[in-house]
Amino acid sequence: MNNAAVTVRSFSSIDGAGITTPGSFVSWESGQAGPRDIRRPQVLPAPYISFGKLALPDKLAFSASSLALRGNAPINPENTGIFLGIPRGSLSTDLLYRESIRGGTPSPALFSATLPSSAVTDIAIYHRIKGPDVVFAGGDAPFCTALQYGVMMLQSGRLIDALILFVDEGTAIFRNAASADKTTSSPYACALLLGACSAPPPPLSLQSASITLERIGTPDDLSSLEDERKLISRLIAALRTAASLRIPVSSGGFKGYISLHCS
Amino acid sequence: MEKGVIIEQRALLCALGGLHETTQSILSGISAIRPAPCFTIPVAHAPFEDRRLRELDNAFSLLADRVDLVEVRNKRPLFIYAAAKGDIRSLEPDTMTRALPSPLLADQAKQVSRITGITPASTMVISNACASGIVAVAVAKFLLEREMYSCAVVAGFDVISRFVTSGFHSLGALSPTGARPFDATRDGLTLGDGAALAVLRFREPSGGDTVITGADQSNDANHRTGPSRSGRGLYLAAAGTLKNSGVGPEQVGAVKCHGTATVYNDAMEAKAINLCFADRPPPCFSMKGAIGHTSGAGSLIELLLAEEFLRLKTIPPTINFTMPDPEAPIPVSGKAVSFAIPSILCLSAGFGGLNAALLLEKRRS
């Protein structure tokens, strides 16, 4: 099996503290309610009429993607894929749509956003990304699964670029929903733009960051969403400081090590 | 013989019954669609005879009895649950009880795994709108070919609900009389109920096996709910599938269309097919006039039915098709015909411009 490293062309994360991109961290403005209140100028240089209408998971995915793609347009749109881990699906939008049914006027715009895959739609439309998409709306470690699948698609030669996304709208919004998950967490999103080895060199801010997946060893268990969020935070922190990292991972979807090499 | 990904076991439930009943009914020209009020909205719908089969637990208990999972249970398979919305009774607008399954697909996947008695090496939940089922099979194929798992179990589930029906109604996508795919008078889709279970393995095919020889996907990058008018997105998925199958267009025996019976989907799909086959496509068919549109589970259900039609060497009729549409000029027929070449290109398209294609080829005995 081809296990070549893939290049990290760019990244972003959006969390309770602010917005992280290569070489930059921006805190939320005073009065801004964190990720759920992210604003278009913080994401895109020009107006995009749909931005304000996006449901929360879609807005988080679009924002994280747009930040990672800033200055890093896909080399070939038909050879660029989007792989999204979205463990809680679109439950907040489901609840909003249900209210619109109860109100007697079901909203077509909200209905289309009740699909977890809705989170990739505006990314594809705005950034003209036309390759394969896979939406992992749960299961074992959806981010690691999306990362593994995206890396393997790059290694297979089908793709030149892969956008790996993770979106978790948190739990505060739907405490009363019929969900078995009763943990508390805030909204979070991140994006990794990965390139095949044949892709042009990465931007200066990430001079030679690469990721290797090694399927060996007896790694740590990664059984909960909280564990996966911690893993993603470590990965983003390492990218931000250009530190190398080797994280042991054991989930159903991936067993081995995620190795990040920065120099 | 070269190894390939093979559907070793399969079971399904839809408005016409199980795999055998549905196959025979479609070949006999029977449709499950009945004009009737559906959740107070006047649409044709395709309900299960027993509404308990719309419940995740009941449906998969029944499906698990129709396949032999004894060996699979010992093999620690990859398990993929594919759905657009799944069992969302708890999201219905008049739901009062809390004793219903979680609306989260992640929780439903665990439930299906428990009901079927599978202890997976890995669980994935794939929700690619109406293409979920076929994308799940494509992901399983990709991972099985790299020998990451000994086998894979793919489960699909989506059913009619007020939640979903009201949404399609608000978009003006539902037919008031019943789906008529590719017909010149078509006026919208009809929703249906469906659940399916398939066991896949990567091995040397034996005589008569059907092999999944290629798969690919694309995105229209065009519109949130409407298909690309050019058909180029679906064409890319279809052409990519033929390319990675190593098969030319002339080696395809039939096309199983997505064929929702909306004006724009069928016109787009006809363009994509004509692009792929240089205006000389093989016979094309849609099953949605018979079983309705079973959403994310639909592409898995239709894949299993397509495989069965391949085994029977018969291209099924497109039920409710009577009048060809000059705006969708592909060879669709209201009558069953024989395969000249034993292969089917399966197409699927979902909201958000998500397209997927997969090629089934019958290996000669």
DSSP 8-state class, residue A81: E
Which residues are within 8 A (CB) of A104 and not within 5 positions of it... i.e. 6 or more apart? none
Alpha-carbon distance values, B9 to A114, B140, B179, B360 (Å): 32, 14, 30, 15
Which class for A34: exposed (0-12), middle (13-18), buried (19 or more C-beta within 10 A)? middle
Q: Which of A115, A125, A139 sits opposite B124 (nearest CB)?
A: A139
Tell me what ipTM this predicted complex has.
0.96
Residues of chain A neighbouring B134 (CB-CB closer than 8 A)? none
8 Å CB contact of B353 and A125: yes
- Chain A nearest-CA distance from B114, in A, is 14
pLDDT score of A205: 41
8 Å CB contact of A77 and B221: yes
Residues of chain B neighbouring A251 (CB-CB closer than 8 A)? 122
8 Å CB contact of B225 and A130: no
8 Å CB contact of B128 and A130: no
- Domains (ranges, CATH) in chain A? 9-205 (3.40.47.10)
H or E segment to which residue B274 belongs: helix B263-276
How far apart are the two ends of chain B, measured CA to CA in Å? 12
- Domains (ranges, CATH) in chain B? 4-203 (3.40.47.10), 210-362 (3.40.47.10)
- Is the predicted pLDDT of residue A213 greater than 90, yes or no? no
Alpha-carbon distance values, B283 to A170, B240, B253, B305 (Å): 48, 20, 7, 16
8 Å CB contact of B146 and A121: no
Nearest CA in chain A to B295: A115
**Low-confidence residues of chain B: pLDDT under 50:** none
Q: Which of A129, A132, A253 sits opposite B217 (nearest CB)?
A: A132
Chain-centre distance for alpha carbon B85: 15
- Is the predicted pLDDT of residue A85 greater than 80, yes or no? yes
Q: Which residues of B40-77 are buried (b: 16+ CB within 10 A; e: fewer)?
A: ebebbbbbbeeeebbbbebbbebbbeebebeebeebbb
Residues of chain B neighbouring A114 (CB-CB closer than 8 A)? 85, 163, 167
Alpha-carbon distance values, A140 to A84, A118, B88, B110 (Å): 13, 21, 21, 10
Return the amino acid letter for B83. Answer: A
Q: Which of A97, A121, A142 sits opposite B224 (nearest CB)?
A: A121
- Chain B nearest-CA distance from A109, in A, is 9
Cα–Cα distance measured from residue A142 to residue A130, given in angstroms and rounded to the nearest whole number: 22
Packing angle of the helix pair B232-245, B263-276 (nearest 10 deg)? 40
How far apart are the two ends of chain A, measured CA to CA in Å? 26
Nearest CA in chain A to B92: A98
Residues of chain A neighbouring B93 (CB-CB closer than 8 A)? 98, 101-102
**B347 touches B303 (CB < 8 A):** no
Q: Per residue in B281-314, pLDDT tens?
A: 999 999 999 999 999 999 999 999 999 999 999 9
Q: Which of A82, A112, A116 sits opposite B127 (nearest CB)?
A: A116
8 Å CB contact of A180 and B102: yes
Place A222 in a pLDDT band, splitting at 50, 70 and 90. low
Q: Per residue in B143-179, pLDDT tens?
A: 999 998 999 999 999 988 889 999 999 999 999 889 9
- Is the predicted pLDDT of residue A209 greater than 70, yes or no? no
Residues of chain A neighbouring B222 (CB-CB closer than 8 A)? 125
